[in-house]
Amino acid sequence: MKQRHLGARLYLIVLLLVLYLPIFYLIYFSFSSGQNMNHFQHFTWEHYQTLFNDSRLLAIMLQTLLLALLSGLIATTVGTFGAIAIEAARSKREKSSLLALNNVLMVSPDVIIGASFLIFFTALGLSLNFGSVLLSHVAFSIPIVVLMVLPRIKEMDATLIDAAKDLGASSYQVFSQVLIPAIMPGILAGFFMALTYSLDDFAVTFFVTGNGFTTLSVEIYSRARQGIDLEVNALSAIIFLVVLIGVLIYYFLSVRSSRTKHNRRIGVKL
């Protein structure tokens, strides 16, 4: 039994090493004074200095964050409304056809989404810039928000709404003080997924962006196509650090909350 556990742990550790190898490889060479990723030359902060003086790249990072936040907010709003509308559908057929349409963008390959949106924007005569990218990111983030919010609405106790109405709440009060707080965890999860989708996207943005606007993914792609550039390595080290800190914070928060889970859960259920 002990032996089997050792083997299991070994397999997982090797897998994790492989998963992290490329990332650490990038970070390792971000400290090398050379121009390539073959031999480590001398230790240097040079590439980090270039990175922090590269105002163009810093602006692109800010743009990418802004785009993610904005598209996430809009997609969460429309998606939550959509989920509410789907749940309130009168017939089963209406509900299932709405859900089917909702999932079209979830299963479409990115190139198809990108290419069809490009045709769509051109047909409308919209110019390709921040606006077209924002609209696309909102569009492909809405379905995941719907899928995250929907189960929460289903789980919700419908008598809560009736009780609020009986107690004289207006329909706006029912919406803002009963419905939204009850499904908040789903809304937050949807917003979080929308952020991830937006930050992660390359293919769709690549199709629908013009000369004036670019995101981090597109910028890395065009730099990588020109060959090795150790400034990109420095950038990935920074990104890894930010992600690591975020994940650690999340982990300790969730560990702490799982300790007090019992009390919390009762609070949420009420």
Nearer residue to other proteins within complex by CB, 88 or 268: 88
Minimum Å gap between C-beta 181 and other proteins is 17
Closest CA to 114 of 213, 244, 206, 238: 206
Nearer residue to other proteins within complex by CB, 73 or 135: 135
Nearer residue to other proteins within complex by CB, 20 or 52: 20
Q: Are 207 and 120 in contact (CB under 8 A)?
A: no
Minimum Å gap between C-beta 49 and other proteins is 20
Specify the residue for token string 């390595």: 233
Minimum Å gap between C-beta 53 and other proteins is 21
Q: DSSP of 98-151, one letter per residue?
A: HHHHHHHHHHS-HHHHHHHHHHHHHHHT--SSHHHHHHHHHHHHHHHHHHHHHH
Nearer residue to other proteins within complex by CB, 44 or 236: 236
Q: Are 230 and 44 in contact (CB under 8 A)?
A: no
Minimum Å gap between C-beta 267 and other proteins is 22
Minimum Å gap between C-beta 34 and other proteins is 11
Q: Residue 228 — left, alpha, or beta (φ > 0 → left; ψ -120 to 50 → alpha)?
A: beta
Nearer residue to other proteins within complex by CB, 46 or 110: 110
Nearer residue to other proteins within complex by CB, 130 or 220: 220
Instruction: Give kind and range of the element (H or E) at residue 29.
Output: helix 2-29
SS3 62: helix
**Largest Cα–Cα separation, the chain:** 75
Minimum Å gap between C-beta 174 and other proteins is 10
